[in-house]
Amino acid sequence: MGHPTPLIRSVSTPAYRHIVIEASDGNRYDADLSSFAGVHCFPASRDEWAKVCIDSYGLALIWASRFEVHVDQIIGLAQSVERSGAPAAAAPHRPHAV
C-alpha cells in the first residue's frame, strides 16, 4: 500500500507456462503461470506461449490466444524476485541552447 503498481518493461518466455518480466520497480520477476492452465484461452503450446506482448499501459501481458494476466498476478505468483537495476528515473532536464 502506498506504492504505485509497477509497469512491465520487458517480458521473456524461457519455458512453457513460465515468464520473466522486468518491472519499473527495478525487479525481475520469474513466475510460473501453470495455475491458469485451466482457463479456456490459455496458450495450448510452447509456440503459442511465445506469442505474448505487453499491453499499451504496461499493466498486463496479452497472448495471441487472448489470454491475459495482470502485473499484480505475475508478482503474486513469482517464484523468485531479483534486483535488476534501479527504477527508471525521469529524463534529466536539458535547457535549450541559446
Contact 62, 68 (CB under 8 A): yes
* Complete domains list, the chain, with CATH: 8-83 (3.30.2020.40)
**pLDDT score recorded for residue 85:** 66
Predicted pLDDT of residue 81? 96
Tell me what pLDDT residue 63 has. Answer: 98
**CA 18 to CA 21: how far, in whole Å?**
10
Residue 3: per-residue pLDDT: 81
Instruction: Note whether 77 and 20 are within 8 A (CB).
Output: no
Q: Per-residue pLDDT tens for 27-81?
A: 999 999 999 999 999 999 999 999 999 999 999 999 999 999 999 999 999 999 9
Taking CA 69 as the corner, what is the angle to CA 41 and CA 75, rounded to the nearest 5 degrees?
Answer: 145
